[in-house]
């Protein structure tokens, strides 16, 4: 049973703060993904990684960066949080079938 965990379920940050969201998977998958989920917009891909230290931009990478130092861990970084980054952030892993984490609801005030 694949387990995908995220560091926080809820997070409140102030505008301009640096924010770290972490995702850990226990199934040795090479691929990991970060999505943003907003009502009426579905899941939109921010960044993905095919291997350690490898990353590629998704559809909405602006304002975000990522880090993958270990195979099981994929971090999403908001360098300077803004109110329009208030959203649900969902991590995924897998090949054709993707397994998702529980999501982090981030509020930027």
Partner 1 sequence: GENVEQHPSTLSVQEGDSAVIKCTYSDSASNYFPWYKQELGKRPQLIIDIRSNVGEKKDQRIAVTLNKTAKHFSLHITETQPEDSAVYFCAASPPNDYKLSFGAGTTVTVRA
Choice from 41, 52, 54, 80 touching partner 1 (CB under 8 A): 41
| 56 vs 64: CA distance, rounded Å | 12
**Binds partner 1 (CB under 8 A): choice among 11, 17, 44, 72:** 44
**Binding span for partner 1 by CB under 8 A among 10-18, 19-27, 64-72, 93-101:** 93-101
Q: Tell me the residue length of the chain.
A: 109
CB of 11 to partner 1, least distance (A): 17
> Would you count residue 1 as binding partner 1 (CB under 8 A)?
no
Between residue 6 and residue 35, which ones bind partner 1 under the rule CB under 8 A? Answer: 31, 33
C-alpha distances in Å from residue 22, one per residue of 4, 7, 39, 92, 96: 11, 5, 23, 11, 22
Taking CB under 8 A as the rule, does residue 103 contact partner 1?
Answer: yes
Q: Whose structure tokens read 């924010």?
A: 19
Residue 65, CB half-sphere, CA atoms under 13 Å: how many?
Answer: 6
């Amino acid at each position: 049973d694949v387990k995908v965990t995220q560091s926080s379920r809820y997070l409140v940050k102030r505008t301009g703060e640096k924010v770290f969201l972490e995702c850990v998977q226990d199934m040795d998958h090479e691929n990991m993904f970060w999505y943003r989920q907003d009502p009426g917009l579905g899941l939109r891909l921010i960044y993905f990684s095919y291997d350690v230290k490898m990353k590629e931009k998704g559809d909405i990478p602006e304002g975000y960066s990522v880090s993958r130092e270990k195979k099981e861990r994929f971090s999403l970084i908001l360098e300077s949080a803004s109110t329009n980054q208030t959203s649900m952030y969902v991590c995924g892993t897998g090949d054709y079938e993707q397994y998702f984490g529980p999501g982090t609801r981030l509020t930027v005030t």
